[in-house]
Amino acid sequence: MAQGWKCSGLSWSADGPVLRWEGGRRSALTWGKRVAFGVAEGGVRTCVGARGHACPARTAVSGRSTGARCEECARLDRAHSVAADTLADDPRPYRVYLAWFGPGMVKVGITAHERGSARLLEQGAVCFSWLGTGPLMAARRTEELLRAALSVPDRIPYGAKRAVRSALPVSAGERAAELAELHARAGGLGGWPDSLERAPYEPVDHVEVFGLAGLPTAAGEVSELVAGGSVGGRLLAAAGPDLHLETESGGVVVLDTRLMTGWELVPADGTEITVPVREFKEAPGIQDGLF
């Protein structure tokens, strides 16, 4: 019987995307590499726990969930996150950023200074620029200022991000144009917290990092993993948690690696996908919502 592995998710290193496995094993991902795995026969997807602790009940969770947590573990995980606004006394400096994911899709967000640009890579930001650095609450107030004054959202649906990756502007300058305009408008606003040190406009482009140049249009995305199913394909690109895989008969299919967590996975061969795939119905463009 093949040895089973539990995936801990995808992370980004200085050398590119890396799949992490329970026990510390890592699998570096490079363009052109064959990515293939199966889901153990008779397997059940179980909760991954919260804050580094296993789920005490090992509760079964939905195959479509990107969080792979039961209700209780999800509550505990969110209660200790920056997004929950429960860490007002966090002494670490935070950065405010503007991130661009495609035409008409710019968001504002914050991340701990010590994390560098890791958060932007994890979200699949095609390009970004810092707005400033300061205490957590100052960073949060700046984020709220941009949301209220400029109607900049703090979230972009992953479905919308995936829809435009193969149809991005060719030049870095074109990709950063909306970013530059919003950064300038943000700088002209009043009401910035005094404790936030503003940052100049310095765009960072991730098209080469993600392998998006010349990316073929995806035919669909994996909607869930199932026991006994398999995923296989040649890696064309990766952005955020997503892998763009070229299959033998189904074209390019996007796999959200967050769907891999909680399952027992086993080695597999081939470049075919036998788990459910949701076909994309619309051509790439600006999307109002999820597919």
DSSP letter, residue 275 = S
Of 37, 36, 17, the C-alpha closest to 27 is 17
Q: What pLDDT, on the 0 to 100 scale, is given for residue 286?
A: 42
3-state secondary structure of 240: coil
Q: What pLDDT, on the 0 to 100 scale, is given for residue 81?
A: 67
Tokens of 17: 């995307």
Q: What pLDDT, on the 0 to 100 scale, is given for residue 285?
A: 43
3-state secondary structure of 113: helix
Q: What pLDDT, on the 0 to 100 scale, is given for residue 86?
A: 52
Per-residue pLDDT in tens (0 to 9) along the chain, 291 residues: 467 899 999 999 888 999 999 989 999 999 999 999 999 999 999 999 998 899 999 999 999 999 999 999 999 988 766 654 556 678 899 999 999 999 999 999 999 999 999 999 999 999 999 999 999 999 999 999 999 999 999 999 999 999 899 999 999 999 999 999 999 999 999 999 999 999 999 999 999 999 999 999 999 999 999 999 999 999 999 999 999 999 988 799 999 999 999 999 999 988 889 999 999 875 444 433 322
- Residue found under tokens 């994309």: 280
Give the pTM.
Answer: 0.91
Of 122, 107, 124, the C-alpha closest to 179 is 107
- How crowded is the C-beta side of 105, counted as CA atoms within 13 Å? 26
What phi and psi values does residue 181 have, to the nearest 5 degrees?
Answer: -65, -45
Distances (CA, A) of 137 to 73, 84, 91, 112, 197: 26, 12, 10, 12, 13
In residues, how long is the chain? 291
Residues 236 and 238: their CA atoms lie apart, in Å, by 7
Residues 189 and 205: their CA atoms lie apart, in Å, by 25
Q: What pLDDT, on the 0 to 100 scale, is given for residue 167?
A: 93
Q: What pLDDT, on the 0 to 100 scale, is given for residue 52?
A: 84
| 220-222/252-256 β-pairing | parallel
Of 258, 50, 45, the C-alpha closest to 158 is 258
What is the Cα 234 distance to its own chain's centre?
Answer: 20
4: exposed, middle or buried (Cβ count in 10 Å: 0-12, 13-18, 19+):
middle
